[in-house]
Structures are given as structure tokens and as C-alpha cells.
Amino acid sequence: MRIAELYVAKREPVFSLEFFTPKNETGRRALFRAIERLLAIEPAFVSITCGAAGTTRQRTADLAIEVQQELGVTTMAHLVCTGTTRSELDETLRHMHEHGIHNILALRGDPPRGETDWTPVEGGFAHANELAAFIGERFDLGIGGACYPEKHHEAPSLEADIDNLVRKVEAGAELLITQLFFDNQRYWSFVEAVRERGVDVPIVPGIMPVLNLSNLQRIASLSPGTSVPSALEDALRSAGDDDETALEAGVAFAAAQCRELLNDGAPGIHFYTLNRSKATLRTVASL
């Protein structure tokens, strides 16, 4: 099933979960345990991220296949252009398609570790819209794309970023998932600006229940431009080394944010889980 259709047919909020590809066997076992626990919230789908290296691309594909086959949950694989030629992307897409993965999040990708600038490889793509078009021309697959309520950090303006987002949707993205954010007002202003451009695909808020202050600080450094509410930062700071109190503060903030988003008509929530289950389980339980 194409994931975008889930939002059309929805009766309940559509919850989805994002996991990163672990580096080793211990991480893989922990990931499966986390997903198994999180099945309790009946996620409509899960997604598996893709790192910058070619080897990660293959690992992401194989993990997505394994999760879908072993746990029976619809799985979307992230696919990035970083360091990859068209023929390599074609090969990975073919492999996933043959093994039942029917949904791809088409991304340009982050720069490889240690690099700050993103450059395309010869024979590869420069932007996610090119990858989305490539997928649509060759495969019968559901295609998603990323979007940024507070602007992608490389874009000169939010307007320019939305121009490029329109290209991504025209190229075939039928579902958009946002970068994580903490300020719902920014999400709604963004949705309004995108809708004014005639884009009507679901724009799914990406939410992360924050675990502690260092987690929040890391998120802020990895997602330049994300506004961090001082109330959340203060609550995490005053929790100090008390992990449980910090987790409670992160969950309380995320639950209030999700409740408000869903009440105001958001199509669902995509949780950034960091491969852990507790914070997301508690957030959904308190909705």
C-alpha cells in the first residue's frame, strides 16, 4: 500500500515511527526490541533512515525488508543521493521493490560525516526532486519527501525553499514529512504557505520527545534553525542528571504539542524515536 493513502482513509490519527540503521548486531537487536514494544501503539508505518555511505544504503534496504517481513509492519526506506550514482540507486530500488518495499522517502541526504558542504557525484543527482522523478519514472512505488517548517538551512529564504518543495511534489512526492520542530505555530504558517502554492499532499509533523538536555542540544546543532522553546530547555536543565525527571519533561512537552497538532487537524504524527521506545510510548499514552 502507498503510505499517502493511509492519510486519506484515516479514522484515527496516523502514527508513524522513524528509526536509524544501527551500526552493529547489538544495535540491531535493540532496534527490533524497540520496534516490537512500539507496535503497541499500532503504527501505520515505520521508516528506516539511510546514512551517507553506499554501504549504509544497502544496509537500510536490507533492514527495511527484514523489519517489514519479520514484524509485519509497513516499512518505508529512506534513500539518499549522497555519494551515489543513478545506477546504484536503481539497483537498490529494484532490490527493495522485489522484496516488497513499496514506499521510499526520497532525499538528497546530509553531507558525508566530517564534511560540511554537499556535492553531487558524477552520474548522480543534485536534489531530492530529481530522485523522486527517477523513482516515479521507473517504479510503481509510493514516494515521500522531506520538508522544513523553519526553512532548510541552505535555502536563501523560506519562499525559495517552498519553490523547491513544489518541484519535489511535482516530481512525484505524494507525502511530506517535516523536520522536527517544537513550535506548532511555525508548522501551521508553513502549511498555509505551502497550501497557497497549490500543494495538497499530507504534510506530516515530525516530533521528537526529547530525552534530556544534551539530547536537546544535539538536536539543535544537527537541525540548524530549529527554534527551541525556553520552557522546555529550562525544564530539562532543572532536571539535571535525573534522567527520569528529564524524560517526564520531554514527554509532557511532546504530548502537549501532539495533542494540539491533532486537535487542529494535523494528518498524523511521525515520531523520531532515536531507536528507543519509552519516550514515544509514554507520549502516545498521554494523548
Ligand X SMILES: Cc1cc2nc3c(=O)[nH]c(=O)nc-3n(C[C@H](O)[C@H](O)[C@H](O)COP(=O)(O)OP(=O)(O)OC[C@H]3O[C@@H](n4cnc5c(N)ncnc54)[C@H](O)[C@@H]3O)c2cc1C
The residues binding ligand X (CB under 6 A) are: 49-50, 52, 78, 80, 105, 107-110, 127-129, 146, 152, 154-155, 161, 164, 167-168, 177, 179, 206
CB of 265 to ligand X, least distance (A): 20
Q: 86-98 vs 54-71: helix axis angle to the nearest 10?
A: 10
CB of 80 to ligand X, least distance (A): 5
The secondary structure of 197-236 as a DSSP string is TT--S-EEPEE----SHHHHHHHHHHSTT----HHHHHHH
Residue 72 to residue 68: CA distance in whole angstroms: 5
CB of 59 to ligand X, least distance (A): 12
Identify the helix (H) or strand (E) that includes residue 182: none
Which distant-in-sequence residues (6+ apart) come within 8 Å of 277 by Cβ?
A: 33, 34, 37, 38
CB of 13 to ligand X, least distance (A): 18
Nearer to ligand X, 247 or 273 (CB): 273
Nearer to ligand X, 78 or 276 (CB): 78
CB of 241 to ligand X, least distance (A): 31
**18 part of the active site:** yes
CA distances from 189 to 77, 121, 130, 185, 194 (A): 29, 35, 27, 6, 9
Instruction: List the catalytic residue out of 5, 12, 18, 88.
Output: 18
Nearer to ligand X, 147 or 213 (CB): 147
Backbone angles phi, psi at 175, to 5 degrees: -160, 135
Residue 248 to residue 243: CA distance in whole angstroms: 9
Residue 41 to residue 14: CA distance in whole angstroms: 10
User: Which of 86, 43, 80, 34 lies closest to 61, judged by CA?
Assistant: 80
Nearer to ligand X, 129 or 283 (CB): 129
Nearer to ligand X, 59 or 78 (CB): 78
Query: Which are the catalytic amino acids?
Result: 18
